Amino acid sequence: MTDGGNRDAMRRFRRSERGLSEIVGTLMLVVIVVTAATLLAAFVATYQQQLQTEQAFTHDQSLESLKVLGLITALNKSRTAFENINFTLASEYINPSTVLGVSIDNVPLKSFWWENLANHTWQETTLGASLSLAPEQEIFVSTNTSLGNDSFLSTPPLPNEYLKFDVYTVLQNDFSRVFLPPVALSVVTNLTLSPSNWATLLDGSESFQPGGNASIVDWNWSVVSFALPGVPAYFVGEEAEVSPAFATGVHYWVNLTVTNSDGLLGTARLVATGGP
């Protein structure tokens, strides 16, 4: 083949090679575009699905409603500690609610018994186990704080402190309610009944219940004086008349304990001096 023929063949080969490269490049570009579009579509679909799931979760979370409706407590004989703490838990949700835990004063309950108020069946729930409430269901929750059968992970609350309930659900809600103790206020007044007859009045009528969730139901007085025999003395009632009266010039320690309808206590102490 002549040199001219060789040059023509080379030119044709280069043109063919350039054409093939353009076709391959176009095909690769199409593949890249299609792959990118597919990945983008999958990402968008996944994102939309995740967004819908989050929106559904947020919607369900916003509708969930659990309430601690009532509190019933029992005190030991010395009225220094709870023997048990009971309350009613109600669900107002249109779907079942799942309770993951309950705490009182930020101390989780390690176990509690609950009664289904619809059929009066009892069941125990322990820490780590879930509790399902049907829509509009009410259950009665019972804890035992007596020695040897403690429901709390640490020290139980005291009767003269507020009780803060927290109920945690699988929807990451925390429903709280605080029960406040009463406030005890005492006044000691020496009453002159006649020139030779006088008495001492113990007045706890100014005691009050903050928050309006309960009312004071009991007033218990104790009077202590180390200067006289026969004391301490005990009285009950919003007002108590002490006769014979406090002795002139003698100091008395007057203690008032008020109890509200939730079984919580308020205490007050003052020093009074006897005399007309």
Query: Same domain for 96 and 135?
Result: yes
Query: Same domain for 212 and 246?
Result: yes
Of 179, 204, 224, the residue that ends a domain is: 179
CB atoms within 10 A of CB 267: 16
Query: Same domain for 173 and 203?
Result: no
- Percent of residues, the chain, with pLDDT higher than 70: 84
Tell me the β-bridge partners of 40: none
Query: Same domain for 112 and 171?
Result: yes
Query: Same domain for 70 and 150?
Result: yes
Quick check: 140 pLDDT over 90?
Answer: yes
| 145 vs 218 pLDDT, higher one | 218
Task: Place 13 in a pLDDT band, splitting at 50, 70 and 90.
Answer: very low
Query: Same domain for 170 and 110?
Result: yes
Of 45, 63, 81, the residue that ends a domain is: 63
CATH code at position 230: 2.60.40.10
Query: Same domain for 52 and 71?
Result: no
pLDDT given at position 178? 94
Query: Same domain for 51 and 101?
Result: no
Under 8 Å between Cβ of 183 and 108? no
pLDDT given at position 267? 95
Task: Dump pLDDT digits (tens) for 82-102.
Answer: 888 999 999 988 888 999 999
| DSSP string computed for 200-246 | EEEE-TT-B-GGGS--EEEEEEEEE-TTSTT-SEEEESSEEEESSPP
Of 63, 78, 102, the residue that ends a domain is: 63
Task: Dump pLDDT digits (tens) for 235-252.
Answer: 999 999 887 788 888 888
Query: Same domain for 120 and 207?
Result: no
| Number of domain units in the chain | 3
pLDDT given at position 87? 94
140 Ramachandran zone, left/alpha/beta (phi>0; psi -120 to 50): beta
Query: Same domain for 172 and 70?
Result: yes
Average pLDDT over residues 68-75: 90
Task: Dump pLDDT digits (tens) for 179-238.
Answer: 999 999 999 987 665 566 778 899 999 999 998 779 999 999 999 886 665 557 889 999
Mean model confidence pLDDT for the chain:
83
Quick check: 258 pLDDT over 90?
Answer: yes
Query: Same domain for 22 and 56?
Result: yes
pLDDT given at position 171? 93
Under 8 Å between Cβ of 273 and 246? yes
Distance CA 206, CA 14 (A): 109
CB atoms within 10 A of CB 68: 20
| 178 vs 233 pLDDT, higher one | 178
**Structure-block tokens of residue 206:** 């100014």
Query: Same domain for 144 and 226?
Result: no
Indicate if the alpha-carbon torsion angle 202, 205, 211, 213 is positive or negative: positive
| Residue 256 belongs to domain spanning | 187-273
Tell me the β-bridge partners of 190: 200
